């Protein structure tokens, strides 16, 4: 049984970049980013590091990468 806390649908590619600060996800020091991620939408696409177009909605947010489509939460 594969249990993940990430509820986003579809296969999620492994993130190469931190979606909060845009640095390589393999680098250390993203603890603050992980905490911020609980509260804030992503700013950078984890796959291509593009800036995402973020819209806050009453139910959460949507973040759109021109290359990889829309994330919601």
Structure letter (DSSP) for residue 6: -
Q: How many CB atoms lie within 10 A of CB 18?
A: 22
Q: Does 15 bind Zn ion (CB under 5 A)?
A: no
Q: Which stretch binds Zn ion (CB under 5 A): 1-9, 10-18, 35-43, 53-61?
A: 10-18
Q: What is the DSSP string of 34-60?
A: HHHHHHS--SB-TTT-PBPEEEEETTE
Q: Pick the stretch among 2-10, 41-49, 53-61 that binds Zn ion (CB under 5 A).
A: 41-49
* Residue numbers at the binding site for Zn ion (CB under 5 A): 18, 20-21, 30, 33, 45, 47-48, 65, 67-68
């Amino acid at each position: 049984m594969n249990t993940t806390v990430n509820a986003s649908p579809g296969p999620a590619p492994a993130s190469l970049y931190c979606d909060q600060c845009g640095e390589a996800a393999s680098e250390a020091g993203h603890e603050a980013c992980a905490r911020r991620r609980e509260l804030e939408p992503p700013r950078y696409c984890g796959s291509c590091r593009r800036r995402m177009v973020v819209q806050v909605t009453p139910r959460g947010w949507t973040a759109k990468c021109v290359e990889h489509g829309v994330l919601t939460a």
